[in-house]
Amino acid sequence: MRYELYYQPSIQGRGEFVRLALEEGGADYVDVARDPKFGRPGIMKFLEDPSLEHPPFAPPFLRAGKLLISQTANILQFLAPRLALVPKSEAGRLWAHQLQLTIADWLYETGQTHHPIANVLYYEEQKDEAEKRAAHFISNRIPKFLGYFERILKLNPRGGDFVFGKKAAYVDLSLFQMIEGLRYAFPRTMAALEPQYPRLISLHDRVMTRPRIAAYLSSSRRLPFNEQGIFRHYPELED
């Protein structure tokens, strides 16, 4: 099946968590808004189509045959068994999804550091509040989330290479992306913290060198981080 991913064409954002799974799974997919044959009108048409029975609230969304699926973690939960990126057992899938939802919370909080008042305002209009929020995120929340995932890897009875042991799952790809994004947004913070979370950093490095991920990261399909996405580098937020 050819999957169609609908997401903003100029940022990694939430869509990147889906792109990483599609790439690692070797899926046949089109990144619609980045494909010259489709383009952004294709996304707006979907969101505004008044006859759509299952309209997404926001991108990303995925078309898979007749299904139209949105919410990043829901898309990943749907794709993962089809791309061999999650164990088959119900217990395994619930655990992966639980972790993915915790990553979603972490990602949401990351975006709030530069938009603590409203997404419709510019960063410059909420910079004072952003500095306050980012200070708490850096000192309390980043260590709490890193510590949680490090603990999970440490306790893993199947070994701590990945969340499920020796085989990578979609949640590992998402953890890689969180580390990458936080390094971009808060480089000094991450440089100082990382030595305390060796298993998580090792997981990140293992994901990055997997052949399909490495090929993707060095391709033009991987967009650079920038100050329109969720992970933004504003040096003043780290001071």
Binding site for a second copy (CB under 8 A): 50-57, 66-67, 69-71, 73-74, 77-78, 91, 94-95, 97-98, 101-102, 105, 108, 112, 116-118, 120-121, 126, 129, 132-133, 136, 140, 148, 151-152, 155-157
Given the complex with a second copy, which of 133 and 204 has the nearer CB atom?
Answer: 133
List all residues 6 or more positions away from 147 whose beta carbon is below 8 Å from its beta carbon: 196, 197
Please say whether the beta carbons of 80 and 150 come within 8 A. no
- Whether the ω angle into residue 87 lies within 30 degrees of 0, i.e. cis, is no
Structure tokens at 189: 């913070």
Please say whether the beta carbons of 30 and 15 come within 8 A. no
Q: How far is the CB of 239 from a second copy (least distance, A)?
A: 17
Given the complex with a second copy, which of 179 and 213 has the nearer CB atom?
Answer: 179
Q: How far is the CB of 128 from a second copy (least distance, A)?
A: 9
**Tell me, what DSSP letter sits at residue 223?**
P
Q: How far is the CB of 222 from a second copy (least distance, A)?
A: 26
Given the complex with a second copy, which of 15 and 34 has the nearer CB atom?
Answer: 15
Q: How far is the CB of 153 from a second copy (least distance, A)?
A: 12
Given the complex with a second copy, which of 42 and 55 has the nearer CB atom?
Answer: 55
To which residue do tokens 């309390």 refer?
140
Given the complex with a second copy, which of 35 and 105 has the nearer CB atom?
Answer: 105
Q: What is the DSSP string of 81-129?
A: HHTT-S-SSHHHHHHHHHHHHHHHHHHHHHHHTT-SS-TTS-GGGGHHH
Q: How far is the CB of 146 from a second copy (least distance, A)?
A: 12
